[in-house]
């Protein structure tokens, strides 16, 4: 096992004035044995970053170190890593045992050791009874486990996962997430996992790296990222539904949004143009609430419901227990905003205050 150091990484395509920069100075230290998730929307650079660690993309500037060794100029096969892709990439004419053993066979590992490694990986992944079958005889989740087994038998220092659950349905994704967690707990191998799905990120990560337009917006535990988002982008991307973000002007204990003057439970950190954030679960529909909201839509989600309205031009969502009486569309409801749950961001930089 080994740590991974990303030191001021930059990736450009092309040269000179027409060069397109897609990774902008990413700096991060992934600890030995840590499970880190890289999360962000499509096109944010997360897969490019993973491919740079794998050696499949060249580094334009900066350094990547795996353990004590800088690997910028090291071939992918010599980096002691194993990748699991979105596409299982299994050989259809081979049995699952042969698929898992193929890389070891090419590396001329002795047959008895190959058998031991494959059997051990199959036991961990509960594939022992499927080793003699071919991939076409398996479900999507089982094929993905075979692909993970093929990576495990190599006994690498680092696992790299590139959206491995994207091809699975919702139920299988949930099951496979649990299997990946159990796998990491058992093996403890340093892992980088790329996904656009914030639920995968929150449930799997020991720490998560939130990417946006080639920049790392925040790097921290799921709890830190959720409860103290560093930017308005993180606040809006992490959380379902996302954090309510309202642009306005603070004047002491008043927040002016268009023609509305919203009362604050305590003064804003400073006067002037700010963005106020509040998670939907922290807003409360109650008779003594300080804000008025005209209900535009109500969504029933089983144990809870989402109530939608507007504050100024901003959509505002309240998460409500489904056992409580539901407001009707067109109703004006009072919303309570607890002081401890308000988040403040600079209107220009979008950074947390």
- Residue 134 above 80 pLDDT? yes
Closest CA to 127 of 106, 105, 93, 101: 101
- Residue 118 above 90 pLDDT? yes
User: Tell me: the pLDDT tens digits for 226-273?
Assistant: 999 999 999 999 999 999 999 999 999 999 998 889 999 999 999 999
Stretch among 123-132, 133-142, 173-182 having the lowest mean pLDDT: 173-182
Q: What is the pLDDT of residue 8?
A: 97
Beta strands in 224-285 (DSSP E): 244-251, 254-257, 260-263, 272-278, 284-285
- Residue 85 above 90 pLDDT? no
Q: Please state at what angle helix 96-106 crosses helix 111-124, rounded to 10 degrees.
A: 130
User: Tell me: the pLDDT tens digits for 3-30?
Assistant: 999 999 999 998 888 899 999 999 999 9
Taking the C-alpha atoms of 178, 183, 184 and 186 in order, what is their torsion angle to the nearest 10 degrees?
130
Q: What is the pLDDT of residue 141?
A: 84
- Residue 104 above 80 pLDDT? yes
User: Percent of the chain beyond pLDDT 90?
Assistant: 75
Extract the tokens encoding 276. 């106020």
Extract the tokens encoding 24. 């902008």
Q: Quote the pTM value.
A: 0.90
User: Tell me: the pLDDT tens digits for 264-306?
Assistant: 999 999 999 999 999 999 999 998 888 999 999 999 999 999 9
Q: Which domains does the chain have, with CATH numbers?
A: 4-233 (3.40.50.300), 242-346 (2.40.50.140)
């Amino acid at each position: 096992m080994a740590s991974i150091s990303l030191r001021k990484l930059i990736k450009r395509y092309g040269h000179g004035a027409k060069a397109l920069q897609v990774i902008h100075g990413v700096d991060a230290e992934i600890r030995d044995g840590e499970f880190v998730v890289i999360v962000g929307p499509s096109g944010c650079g997360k897969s490019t970053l993973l491919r740079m660690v794998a050696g499949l993309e060249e580094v334009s500037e900066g350094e990547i170190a795996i353990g004590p060794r800088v690997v910028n100029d090291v071939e992918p096969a010599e980096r002691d890593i194993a990748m699991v892709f979105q596409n299982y990439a299994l050989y259809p004419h081979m049995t699952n045992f042969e698929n898992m053993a193929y890389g070891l066979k090419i590396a001329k590992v002795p047959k008895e050791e190959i058998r031991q490694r494959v059997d051990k990986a199959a036991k961990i992944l509960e594939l022992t009874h499927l080793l003699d079958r071919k991939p076409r005889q398996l479900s999507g989740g089982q094929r993905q486990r075979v692909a993970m087994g093929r990576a495990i038998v190599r006994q690498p220092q680092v696992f790299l996962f590139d959206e491995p659950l994207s091809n699975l349905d919702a139920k299988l994704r949930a099951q496979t997430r649990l299997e990946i967690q159990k796998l990491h707990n058992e093996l403890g191998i340093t892992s980088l996992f790329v996904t656009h799905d914030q639920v995968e990120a929150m449930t799997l990560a020991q720490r998560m790296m939130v990417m946006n337009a080639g920049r790392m917006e925040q790097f921290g535990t799921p709890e830190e990222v959720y409860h103290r988002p560093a930017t308005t982008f993180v606040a809006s991307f992490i959380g379902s539904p996302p954090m309510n973000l309202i642009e306005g002007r603070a004047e002491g204990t008043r927040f002016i949004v268009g023609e509305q003057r919203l009362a604050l439970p305590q003064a804003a950190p400073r006067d002037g143009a700010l963005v106020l954030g509040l998670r939907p679960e922290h807003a409360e529909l109650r008779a003594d609430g300080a804000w008025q909201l005209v209900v535009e839509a109500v969504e029933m989600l089983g144990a809870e419901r989402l109530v939608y309205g507007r504050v100024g031009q901003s959509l505002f969502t309240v998460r409500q227990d489904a056992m409580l009486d539901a407001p009707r569309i067109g109703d004006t409801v009072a919303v309570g905003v607890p002081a401890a749950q308000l988040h403040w961001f600079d209107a220009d930089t979008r950074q947390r205050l």
